[in-house]
């Protein structure tokens, strides 16, 4: 059985499902390989406008790296795994389409690191997010410490890292990480609600705004504002920019063609 299952929830909405529920969807090397392939396919497919990541089984999104692979001081393999995870997570963060991360239950270690590379987090009320690597005598290696501190600041990040504390869904909402928290049985509906909303944003605009959020965060404010205006001026002259304006004035739905 595939460790990653892909399906289209609706036209334009590709779900990538971590499918190793008996190990709480832990990120084994073969699973990471399938995950990368699924991401590359979804990123390249012009018919895919929104990507949804989810874990099978209802108990976990992903409970982290496969700890069984770490046993026995296999240093070369360990380093290769970490370098690969970093590369795949960076690629995920840079996909030029909205990525929704839907968390039922645990998102720990690499699971939370993946969530931190996504754009919109929908959490079931059962969700628990954390970076517990310190309890193993280790630390995150896929960018987790750095993305977390930028997302929530030093004090909330320290609580997760130094106390090994897990964030409840409600706390994640308070911290501004979660876009929505819903009862577990309402997850399907909540995911589709957000994904459908993403479909209404023009794809070129979405891609550019993702880049603005990412690149602007590490630039000084004047440079970032100039970047924003460059993007806007380019979007204004695209066919989709003109179509969005015409459609509004003609009181109809826009037909975006990624041009």
List of residues contacting ligand COA (CB under 6 A): 23-24, 26, 63-68, 106, 108-109, 132-133, 136
Q: How many C-beta neighbours within 10 Å does residue 170 have?
A: 13
Q: Could you tell me the smallest distance in angstroms from the CB atom of residue 28 to ligand COA?
A: 8
Q: Could you tell me the smallest distance in angstroms from the CB atom of residue 74 to ligand COA?
A: 15
Q: Could you tell me the smallest distance in angstroms from the CB atom of residue 57 to ligand COA?
A: 10
Rounded to a whole number of angstroms, the CA Rg of the chain reads: 19
Catalytic residue among 133, 186, 189, 208: 133
Q: Could you tell me the smallest distance in angstroms from the CB atom of residue 115 to ligand COA?
A: 13
Nearer to ligand COA, 34 or 133 (CB): 133
**Cα–Cα separations (whole angstroms), residue 162 to 24, 137, 173, 234, 236:** 24, 11, 21, 45, 47
Nearer to ligand COA, 74 or 94 (CB): 74
| CB half-sphere exposure, 218, CA atoms < 13 A | 6
| CB half-sphere exposure, 41, CA atoms < 13 A | 14
The yes-or-no answer on residue 250 being catalytic is no
Catalytic residue among 22, 41, 69, 113: 113
d(CA 107, CA 122): 12
The yes-or-no answer on residue 228 being catalytic is no
Nearer to ligand COA, 26 or 195 (CB): 26
**180: β partners:** 122
Helix (H) or strand (E) holding 53: strand 50-55
Nearer to ligand COA, 144 or 244 (CB): 144
Give the strand pairing for 13-18 and 4-10. antiparallel
> Catalytic positions, please?
113, 133
């Amino acid at each position: 059985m595939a460790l990653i299952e892909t399906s289209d929830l609706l036209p334009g909405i590709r779900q990538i499902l971590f499918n190793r529920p008996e190990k709480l969807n832990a990120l084994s090397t073969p699973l990471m390989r399938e995950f990368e392939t699924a991401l590359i396919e979804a990123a390249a497919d012009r018919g895919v406008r929104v990507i949804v990541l989810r874990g099978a089984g209802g108990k976990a999104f992903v409970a982290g790296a496969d700890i069984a692979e770490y046993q026995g001081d296999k240093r070369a393999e360990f380093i290769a795994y970490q370098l690969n995870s970093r590369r795949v997570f960076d690629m995920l963060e840079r996909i030029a389409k909205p990525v929704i991360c839907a968390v039922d239950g645990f998102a720990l270690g690499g699971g939370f690191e993946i969530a931190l590379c996504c754009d919109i987090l929908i959490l079931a009320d059962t969700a628990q997010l954390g970076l517990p690597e310190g309890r193993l005598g280790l630390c995150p290696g896929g960018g987790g410490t750095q993305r977390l501190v930028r997302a929530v600041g030093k004090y909330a990040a320290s609580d997760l890292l130094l106390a090994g504390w897990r964030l409840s869904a409600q706390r994640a909402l308070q911290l501004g990480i979660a876009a929505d928290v819903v009862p577990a049985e309402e997850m399907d509906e909540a995911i589709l609600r957000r994904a459908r909303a993403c479909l209404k944003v023009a794809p070129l605009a979405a891609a550019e705004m993702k880049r603005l959020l990412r690149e602007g965060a590490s630039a000084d404010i004047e440079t970032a504002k100039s970047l924003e205006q460059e993007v806007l001026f380019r979007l204004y002259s695209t066919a989709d920019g003109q179509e969005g304006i015409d459609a509004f004035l003609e009181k109809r739905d826009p037909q975006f063609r990624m041009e």
